């Protein structure tokens, strides 16, 4: 019996609330690394945090669920999730990007 291929998805997240200055980005990097999700996270000048997550559907969904809470000091109001095309050429791992 052959295992079914793993569905890979990519999602763009925009996290609103008290999410800057509370260790949110580093906590997301750690969560994504544990889950095997690749992508990036960055602060935005409007006070939100933006992240691109790509990987097995279950792992990406688990990271999205994590994003609704974040680290203990965060106060997440909402998480916007947008479907994105899979970027097979993105760098491995999950990293921080510069603020935009």
Q: Which residues are catalytic?
A: 25, 43
Question: From residue 28, how far is each of 13, 19, 23, 64, 73 by CA, in Å?
Answer: 12, 11, 9, 10, 13
- The angle at the Cα of 35, spanning 44 to 8, to the nearest 5 degrees, equals 85
């Amino acid at each position: 019996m052959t295992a079914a291929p793993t569905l890979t998805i990519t999602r763009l997240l925009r996290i609103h609330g008290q999410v800057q200055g509370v260790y949110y980005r580093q906590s997301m990097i750690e969560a994504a690394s544990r889950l095997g999700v690749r992508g990036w996270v960055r602060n935005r000048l409007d006070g939100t945090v933006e992240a691109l997550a790509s990987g097995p559907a279950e792992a990406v969904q688990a990271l999205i669920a994590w994003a609704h809470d974040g680290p203990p000091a965060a106060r997440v109001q909402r998480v916007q999730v947008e479907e994105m095309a899979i970027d097979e050429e993105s760098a491995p791992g999950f990293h921080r990007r510069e603020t935009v």
